[in-house]
Amino acid sequence: MAESPDWTSCLIRIRDDRDETAFVALFRHFAPRVKAFLMRSGADAALAEEVAQEVMATVWHKAAQFDPARASVATWIFTIARNRKIDALRKQARPEPEDLPWGPEPDPDQADAVGLQQEMDHLGQALAELPDKQRELIEKAYFGELTHREIADATGLPLGTIKSRIRLALDRLRHAMDGRAR
Amino acid sequence: MTKITHHLTEDLLMGYSAGTLPEAVNLIVATHISLCDACRASLDAYDAVGGVLLERHSHEVSEACLAGALDMIRKGETSATPAPRRGCDLVPAPLADYVGKGLSDVKWRPVGMGVKQAILETSPEATARLLYIPAGTAVPDHSHNGLELTLVLQGAFEDAEGRFARGDIEIADDDLEHMPVADISQDCICLAVTDAPLRFKGLLPRLAQPFLKI
């Protein structure tokens, strides 16, 4: 498999051709990641697998709503998994912003999707290059059901330090993504 | 629409993206983002961080899980793209899910001095309410045990922090003591979210507090 498989065209084959082979490839890559995400958020293995299965089925059913100019496949699946997590683990509704007045472009500019994917690659690299402590804090904030205060209790660091470390880490990421974002 | 000048904090955007906020806070964040393109763009960036983090860890999934997923996609109806969710009558779509079609549907309860409120049903860690402040009215001076978020839907109010009009969100924490005053030109309607009871300074409002559920 290529180093960075083209998940965007894989998802577009699912969207446009209802291609099951493409779905299996996408599943083999993302279902274990969604499962790990759920487990880090406190789900046991069985529930995490069940939710991962539902998330991947949702990807198939909602493929028409995927907009490659706005989100990478990983980002889009993350948002679906996050919403299912709130529903399954916290039994809460998740208020979502109203849709933009324009939907996904039927035929988006390839350059947009490619540019977005490059940005994601940069972001992934920047994250990998963060000092371990900063990266761990960001991961805890995203994946643990932990508030900043709980992270402070767990790590023994004062709340202000946590917040400034997270801010610093985000600044570095933002810096790494500079140029295209705004 | 007037330009939005008071935005979400990084903490709130990140918490919303991570999915770690209480339902009532998610509601006010989603409502602000529905009105604010700048915060929507910031949220996209936080979601992108989530996407990158998702890639970093994996946990083996059984073959039965894949078989089950294939079963689900073959059986399930592929829903047509739903119509875009839109708000109406000053109420953005996420809020409309909690208050009904429009502000005319809201069942207001008086809390004194012409101010009215309607508590919305969410999970209990934080409380969301609509506030109706008649034009020119001052809300009693109060401070907070926790966080208070106030998003303007109609009209405007002003306090020591500045002027807040439709789409603007005020983020007040423990330290802020404020007395918001509604603009004289129009009644002001806000969505307010608190994660702890407000503390009013005067004796009377404090006595009334348990009854008002503020």
| Cβ neighbourhood burial of B73 (10 Å; 0-12, 13-18, 19+) | buried
Digit-coded pLDDT (tens) for B60-73: 999 999 999 999 99
pLDDT of residue B111: 85
Domain CATH number, residue A149 = 1.10.10.10
Shortest CB distance from B84 goes to which of A70, A99, A173? A99
pLDDT of residue A70: 83
β-partners of residue B120 are B128
Residues A84 and A152 grouped into a single domain = no
Domain count, chain A: 2
Task: Record the tokens describing residue A132, joined without a space.
Answer: 């371990």
Which of A33, A102, A142, A177 is the best substitution to test chain B (most B C-beta atoms within 10 A)? A142
Where is the domain boundary, A109, A140, A155?
A109
Nearest to A181 by CA among B47, B42, B81: B42
Digit-coded pLDDT (tens) for A160-177: 666 666 676 677 666 666
Contacts of B110 (CB under 8 A, 6+ apart): B116
Digit-coded pLDDT (tens) for A61-86: 999 989 888 889 999 999 999 999 98
Contacts of A8 (CB under 8 A, 6+ apart): A68, A72, A73, A113, A117
Residues A136 and A179 grouped into a single domain = yes
**A24: pLDDT strictly greater than 90:** yes
**Domain membership flag for residue A144:** yes
Neighbour tally for B52: CB within 10 Å: 25
Q: Are B187 and B135 in contact (CB under 8 A)?
A: yes
A159 compared with A28, residue with greater pLDDT: A28
Residues A103 and A139 grouped into a single domain = no
**B59: pLDDT strictly greater than 70:** yes
The DSSP line for A16-67 is HH--HHHHHHHHHHHHHHHHHHHHHTT--HHHHHHHHHHHHHHHHHTGGG--
Task: Record the tokens describing residue A94, joined without a space.
Answer: 């998740």
Domain CATH number, residue A102 = 1.10.1740.10
pLDDT class of B76 with cuts at 50, 70, 90: confident
Shortest CB distance from A98 goes to which of B77, B78, B93? B93
Considering chain B, what is the average pLDDT of its residues? 84
User: Taking the domains of chain B in order of start, what are their residue ranges?
Assistant: 1-80+91-214
**Domain membership flag for residue A121:** no
A85·B19 Cβ contact <8 A? yes
**Which whole-number Å values give the CA distances from B148 to A41, A97, B56, in the listed order?**
27, 20, 35
Sign of the alpha-carbon torsion through A77, A78, A83, A89? positive
The CATH code belonging to domain B1-80+91-214 is 2.60.120.10
pLDDT of residue A96: 92
| A to B CB pairs, distance under 8 Å | 194
Across residues A5-15, what is the average pLDDT? Answer: 91
Which helix (H) or strand (E) covers residue B132, if one does? strand B127-133
pLDDT of residue A3: 47
Please state the ipTM of this predicted complex.
0.85
**Domain membership flag for residue A116:** no
A98·B94 Cβ contact <8 A? yes
Across residues B172-181, what is the average pLDDT? Answer: 76
The range of the structural domain enclosing residue A15 comes to 1-109
**Domain membership flag for residue A179:** yes
Amino acid (one-letter) located at B110: P
Neighbour tally for A50: CB within 10 Å: 17
**Domain membership flag for residue A149:** yes
Q: Are B50 and A72 in contact (CB under 8 A)?
A: no
Considering chain A, what is the average pLDDT of its residues? 81
Residues A88 and A134 grouped into a single domain = no
Amino acid (one-letter) located at B37: D
A105 compared with A39, residue with greater pLDDT: A39
**Which whole-number Å values give the CA distances from B122 to B54, B91, B135, in the listed order?**
28, 17, 28
B31·A95 Cβ contact <8 A? yes
Residues A16 and A97 grouped into a single domain = yes
Q: Report the alpha-carbon distance of residue B181 to residue A7 in Å, rounded.
A: 52
Length of chain A: 182
Length of chain B: 214
Q: What percent of chain B has pLDDT over 90?
A: 48
**Domain membership flag for residue A122:** no
A166·B72 Cβ contact <8 A? no
Q: Report the alpha-carbon distance of residue A26 to residue A181 in Å, rounded.
A: 27
Digit-coded pLDDT (tens) for B123-158: 888 899 999 999 999 887 665 667 889 999 999 999
